[in-house]
Amino acid sequence: MKSIDISIVTYNSQKWLDNFFSSLQSQNYPLDLINIYITDNSSTDETYEKLQVLKDKLSSEFKSFYLEQAKNLGFGAGHNNNIKKANSSFLLVTNVDLEFEKDSLTQIVTYAVSDSEQVASWEFRQKPYEHPKYYNPVTLETNWSSSACILFRKSALDEIGGYEEKIFMYGEDVEISYRLRDHGYILKYYPKAVCWHYTYEEANQVKELQFLGSTSSNLLLRMRYGGIRAIGKGVLLYAGLFFLPEQFPSQRWKLAKNFVDIVQKAPHFLLTRKKRKDVHYKFLLWDYEFIRDGAFYAFSKEYFANPPLVSVIVRTCCQRMGYLKEAVESIKNQTYRNIELIIVEDGTSDANKFAASLKSENISRIEYVPIPKSGRCIAGNVGLAHTTGKYIVFLDDDDLFFADHLEVLVTELENHEAIDACYTSAFQVSTKVLSKNPLKYKEMTHDVIYRQPFSRCLMWYNNYIPIQAIMFSRKLYDTYGGFDEELDNLEDWNLWTRYSMEHDFKYIEKTTSLYRVPYHQEHTQRRQEELDAYYQKAVEKQKALKIEMTPADVVGCYRELSGSINVVTVSREGVKNMIVRMPFLYRFYNLFKKLYHKIRKWNGN
């Protein structure tokens, strides 16, 4: 274990201190290797007095404990005051409105020590609300990191000079992330190190300081890291804020004061612009990275005493080792810790050595099964036959899980006994493949195509669940079997249809996986032609399925399906009800009705 420094900045933080330090004392990391550095930014409550009491009480437990009070110059300035004093190889910057899980420090320091010298920081995963920004599911690299709880390589901080003190609060973490990247460093997100961060009192809460600080910082960062267009768009975005409904008192007046401050700081940011032209810094409206669904999906503190075994089936075939290694790495990165991995290789045994060398703390069993060239369905069925887990999920070799994929799905299935399958949102990633060996590619777009709550009737019409996005109970496989081996495409649609005939699924609006599609038009067209060729065959398979329904069920299914596949649906009954509510139309309707009956009577005579 290495000695580490912890930098803490407080301001009116009295209510958080006991729980924060209690969680720090509970760490399985040796406390006598931890140096505490605290700067209090002139709190107006009893924070500083309480910190003095804590220092007297806890100093003997830690290697050292430094405390001082300073003028409130902002979050970054407070941490810079601590950074100047710190001298360990790694420095943890953290808020106090959070609590650490018991193994958090051990997890992240162990990972950081073994990582490349080019990596400058490792961001903790936050709960109950995970930060929704995108990160690479394989490498865990990210374009920017939250400073709510993050471990830095101290030498990297010394090289760039710490935080930008012209930013008072909010946005300083993005700025230091961009500056580290501008100096050639890599940033990582490490989801196995968890802190419980109580930054929001409720989902979608709007905080005045965050709203004002983050919007002004965004414009200043555009001046340092963006081009002319990015800066111009930022000014227009800021102007647009004045037309929004006020979410807190005097919002427009405070935005105007903020803009004066932005103008005053602009020369500093424009004169210290980025150095590297080969690094792209994103500005997506007010965000700095595209967002995954589920920003306010709440994780629970309740853990499984005995987490059920989850079987992950990976289908692969010849000359796809690059894809396979990435898929398996995304499984190794899972926060869920009881996984059975079944690799089925169709047609070759190229992956034999790779599978034999696999080791991971969260994968309890690995089985590699090579088979003669047989196709996707048979490969899937071979994988299913080798599973022993309570729950089963597929991950084809060119798909990836985000780190919380299995955790989310298992939690939902365990907490909802009436549900036998659960699925989440997934990115469809159009991918330009530059080289297959070694695997090199460029991700062009990330789109969520399906956000469809479970509809049994719609499932009969078309498939809206990507294969890697769903986890199902083993009893479905035991009862209904695996893939129909006469289908080599759309086999998953047929499987979900059979599984959902008498069993309910549940949709979770959180993006936890991705699947790749070709970027080039000719490849996309060829893929679609293959799917279309199998569509009629899959439909014929659907016709063989039988289900009992009451007349009311049939009507409900029709309405559900009609509402899902039509942009506008108006029933005859709906039109009539609308007419009845409008006197003029109702009189016209009655007149037309009488005329219609008279014409019918005349024709009858």
- pTM here is 0.89
Instruction: For each of the domains in the chain, give its residue range(s) and CATH number, in order of start.
Output: 4-197 (3.90.550.10), 310-543 (3.90.550.10), 572-604 (no CATH)
In this prediction, residues 582-589 reach a mean pLDDT of: 61
State pLDDT tens for residues 411-428.
999 999 999 999 999 999
In this prediction, residues 511-525 reach a mean pLDDT of: 87
Mean pLDDT score of the chain: 91
Secondary structure class of 526 (helix, strand, coil) = helix
Which pLDDT band holds residue 596 (cuts at 50, 70, 90)? low
Q: What is the pLDDT of residue 554?
A: 80
H helix intervals, 169-303 = 172-182, 208-225, 228-240, 251-270
Q: How many CA atoms lie within 13 A of 480 on its CB side?
A: 19
Which pLDDT band holds residue 50 (cuts at 50, 70, 90)? very high
Q: What is the pLDDT of residue 551?
A: 83
Report the C-alpha gap between 104 and 563 in whole angstroms. Answer: 47
Lowest mean pLDDT among 40-49, 72-81, 459-468, 596-605: 596-605
Q: What is the pLDDT of residue 488?
A: 78
Residue 222 has pLDDT above 70, yes or no: yes
Which pLDDT band holds residue 185 (cuts at 50, 70, 90)? very high
In this prediction, residues 440-466 reach a mean pLDDT of: 93
Residue 571 has pLDDT above 80, yes or no: no
Which pLDDT band holds residue 409 (cuts at 50, 70, 90)? very high
Contact 228, 299 (CB under 8 A): no
Q: What is the pLDDT of residue 563?
A: 72
Q: Which helix (H) or strand (E) is 389 found in, with range?
A: none
Residue 302 has pLDDT above 90, yes or no: no
Q: Report residue 582 CA to chain centroid gap.
A: 48
Which pLDDT band holds residue 574 (cuts at 50, 70, 90)? low
Report the C-alpha gap between 170 and 218 in whole angstroms. Answer: 9
Q: What is the pLDDT of residue 602?
A: 67
Secondary structure class of 439 (helix, strand, coil) = strand
Q: What is the pLDDT of residue 581?
A: 62
Higher per-residue confidence, 535 vs 375? 375
Q: What is the pLDDT of residue 32?
A: 96
Dihedral sign for Cα atoms in the order 589, 591, 594, 597: negative
State pLDDT tens for residues 307-350.
999 999 999 998 899 999 999 999 999 999 999 999 999 999 99
Q: Which residues does 265 contact at the CB level (< 8 Å), separation at least 6?
A: 166, 220
Backbone angles phi, psi at 473, to 5 degrees: -70, 145
Q: What is the 3-state secondary structure (H, E, C) of 530-585?
A: HHHHHHHHHHHHHHCCCCCCCHHHHHHHHHHHHHHHCCCCCCHHHHHHHHHCCHHH
Tokens of 169: 């609060």
Backbone angles phi, psi at 129, to 5 degrees: -110, 110
In this prediction, residues 344-365 reach a mean pLDDT of: 94
Secondary structure class of 140 (helix, strand, coil) = coil
Q: What angle do CA 464, 330, 179 make, to 5 degrees?
A: 110
Q: Which residues does 41 contact at the CB level (< 8 Å), separation at least 6?
A: 9, 10, 11, 70, 71, 72, 73, 74, 78
Report the C-alpha gap between 127 and 511 in whole angstroms. Answer: 16
State pLDDT tens for residues 245-272.
999 999 999 999 999 999 999 999 999 9
Cis (ω within 30 of 0) for the bond into 438?
yes
Q: What percent of the chain stands above pLDDT 90?
A: 79
- Please, what's the b/e burial string for 115-141 (b: 16 or more CB within 10 A of its CB; e: otherwise)? eeeebbbbbbbbbebbbbbbbbbbebe
- Please, what's the b/e burial string for 145-156 (b: 16 or more CB within 10 A of its CB; e: otherwise)? bbbbbbbbbbeb
In this prediction, residues 388-401 reach a mean pLDDT of: 97
Residue 589: CB atoms within 10 Å: 15
Report the C-alpha gap between 273 and 574 in whole angstroms. Answer: 61
State pLDDT tens for residues 107-153.
999 999 999 999 999 999 999 999 999 999 999 999 999 999 999 99
Q: What is the pLDDT of residue 184?
A: 97
